[in-house]
A and B are shown apart, each in its own frame.
Chain A
Amino acid sequence: MSADSDRLVERLLRRLLGDIREDSGIKQRHSELKRARLIRRLFQSGLLAGIAALLYVSLNAAGFRRTEWVEYWPQFVEALAQYFPPKLYFGVIPFVDLGRYYRFMTEAGLVGEAGITLAIALAGTIMGAPLALLFGILGNERVTPFPFNFLFRGVMSIIRSIPALVWALIYVPLGGITPVTATLALGTDTIGELGRLLTDELEEVDDGPIEGIRSTGAGKPQIITFGMIPQMIRPFIAWAMFVLENNVRSAVSLGIIGAGGLGVTLTIEQQTFNFTNMMATILFIVLLVISVEMISQRTRSYLRGDDDTEQLSLYDRIVGLPERLSNSLF
């Protein structure tokens, strides 16, 4: 393998730098390496310049104008004062008036609203998860032969390409934008999201047990059920918890378009310019999401147990920040 790739690199270099004799001396090798490094540096600088240009073009397209920033900045600062109403504690210590937040939270019954948001997320996840497992398994090449497994993968891709918010719009004829349609939307979204994560997980399933079951003369359904699925249960629960976290956030967004729960409260307060109340709702959302994350985190680290630390390390790296934040809260 490495000898092969060495030869490949050599061939590439030769193509870049012209033919160089194999028996060349150290000096020649040195200048070769120098040139290769220079080319790499140039390429890297070019790449960075390209990314900078892309950012510039994108900002322009999104309508960022320096004049607008200057114009609107005071307005934002003014709003900030309402987001975080100041108060002098004991007549000396200035801090955010937490009492006002608390008053709104109890008056508006945010606990109940959070219950609705959580219910939408839970019901959606629980309905979507088994289907995600089914689609994920059927999308695996070892289960369904090549062209046909892409039928299931394709369905998952299509589901995933439509945001949960849009799924809610699609389900509107089923009774308007209500907690019911929101739940259906999240259920559908879960099939695509969780199914995708499980497809990747299934690629890494160990062949050993599958072969072991196969060697007993078992039928294909038995091979899948006993050789594959037991290996999938831990990652399935772990990823389902992760998707639940996302679904709680999505349930809030669905509330913003009117599907009930904390999102509704959020839009009402925003549209009536009660910015203090709006911030109280946001804080409550933060509280809800972090609680769910902590429970999910605990479950997953429990599932990982002693020997499974490798399995989720990539996930930990990608989405590690909220994890570390919630862990530090303990």
Chain B
Amino acid sequence: MVLRVQDLTKEYGDTTALSNVSFEIPDGSFAVVLGESGAGKSTLLRILNGLTAPTSGSVYLDDQEITNSRSDVGMVFQQHNLVDELSAYDNALTGTFNRTGYLRSLFNLQPTEDRELALEALDTVGLLNEADQTVNHMSGGQQQRVGIARALVQQPTLLLADEPVASLDPASAETVMTYFRETAQKRDLTTLASLHQVNIAREFGEQFIGMKDGRVMFVGSRAELTPSIIEEIYGEIQTEELREGTEATDSDDLMQSEPTHIEAES
């Protein structure tokens, strides 16, 4: 599915979260929205999923306008947004709600195909053995994979992810992103994820949309995403080289000052 965003503007009172955002993502590609916190990434994704209504502008999925939350747009949230009290399996099954009547969903009477679909999705994210575990007993990375499974059960044509790995440690982030990309490739899904870690974004993204202060600053491929453009999106201080430099000196300082500090205290 081709995702086309046209002149999207969102205002909250006096503040403008998005202003005239337009771009297009080709069918089946893995796109990444880059930008600092507050650049408008979350607002954009929420509008794409119909959770928030735009002030003006529109979103088209293969020339069909999106106005409401729909089952063919799957969403993975930063804070997972799972039902903590339910098992991974039951959470995955909530992905079928759009095609299940209320009473059926209330008594857990989804058809066999849907139940198998849920287990299949959990298998895709490597959690088949943990299917009966309650979500609040799972690690952050596992929870996020359940979130992906739920989105997959919806059988989406567009998969959205709002900072899917922002609250995870680097290793879990890597795992989650790998599952995420594999899933998208296997099912040929158009995918749009917002990320603020530039290295992860470069590793996994094919298309990039750079945002700053609610505006689109850059749209292009990985090759076109040069360090100077990254600098422009994030401001100068945030570039990787500079960061590494400060980290090194910081830790040196700590190494030298820490022992004396401890001695002085004791």
Contact surface of A with B, Cβ cutoff 8 Å: 208-209, 211-219, 221-222, 225-227, 230-231, 233-234, 307
Contacts and interface: CB of A to CB of B under 8 A. Distances in A.
Interface string B18-42: 0000000000000000000000000
Given A217-B71, A222-B102, A209 B83 contact: yes
B71 to A, nearest CB: 4
Given A222-B102, A226-B105, A216 B83 contact: no
Interface in B56-73: 68-73
Nearest to A228: B83
A303 to B, nearest CB: 12
18 contacts: A208-B77, A208-B81, A211-B81, A212-B75, A212-B83, A212-B94, A213-B97, A214-B51, A214-B69, A215-B81, A216-B69, A216-B94, A216-B95, A217-B69, A217-B97, A226-B83, A231-B84, A231-B85
A218 B101 CA distance: 9
Contacts of B81: 208-209, 211-212, 215
A80 to B, nearest CB: 53
Given A215-B51, A216-B151, A226-B97, 16 more contacts: A208-B77, A208-B81, A208-B82, A209-B84, A215-B49, A215-B74, A216-B69, A216-B98, A217-B68, A217-B98, A218-B94, A222-B102, A222-B105, A225-B102, A231-B84, A307-B136
B229 interface: no
Chain B CB count within 10 A is highest, among A213, A214, A217, A307, for A217
B145 interface: no
Contact of A219 (B73, B95, B97): B97
B79 interface: yes
Interface residues of B, number: 32
| Candidate in A215, A227, A230 with the most chain B CB atoms within 10 angstroms | A215
Given A218-B98, A231-B85, A212 B51 contact: no
B248 interface: no
A235 to B, nearest CB: 12
Most buried by B among A222, A225, A231, A234: A222
Contact of A216 (B79, B97, B106, B136): B97
A211 B51 contact: yes
Contact of A212 (B71, B73, B77, B136): B77
A230 B83 contact: yes
Nearest to B102: A221
Interface string B166-199: 0000000000000000000000000000000000
Contacts of A214: 51, 69
Contacts of B72: 217
B80 A208 contact: yes
A215 B16 CA distance: 24
Contacts of A217: 68-73, 97-98, 154
Nearest to B100: A222
A151 B131 CA distance: 42
Contact of A209 (B70, B82, B106): B82
Interface in B80-128: 80-86, 94-95, 97-98, 100, 102, 105-106
Nearest to A305: B136
A233 B80 contact: no
Contacts of A208: 77, 79-82
A320 B201 CA distance: 51
Contact of A225 (B77, B85, B106, B136): B106
B67 to A, nearest CB: 12
Given A225-B106, A230-B83, A307-B136, A216 B77 contact: no
B150 interface: yes
Nearest to A232: B85
Contacts of B51: 211, 214-215
A233 B82 CA distance: 16
Contacts of A307: 136
A194 B43 CA distance: 38
B184 to A, nearest CB: 17
B71 A216 contact: yes
Nearest to B96: A216
A93 to B, nearest CB: 56
A230 B69 contact: no
Nearest to A307: B136
A219 B106 CA distance: 12
A221 B98 CA distance: 12
B97 A222 contact: yes
Contacts of B49: 215
Contacts of B102: 219, 221-222, 225
A216 B150 contact: yes
A216 B97 CA distance: 7
Contacts of B85: 230-231, 233-234
A215 B75 contact: yes
A218 B81 CA distance: 14
Q: Which of B73, B75, B81, B102 has the most CB of A within 10 A?
A: B81
A234 B134 CA distance: 15
B240 to A, nearest CB: 32
B39 to A, nearest CB: 21
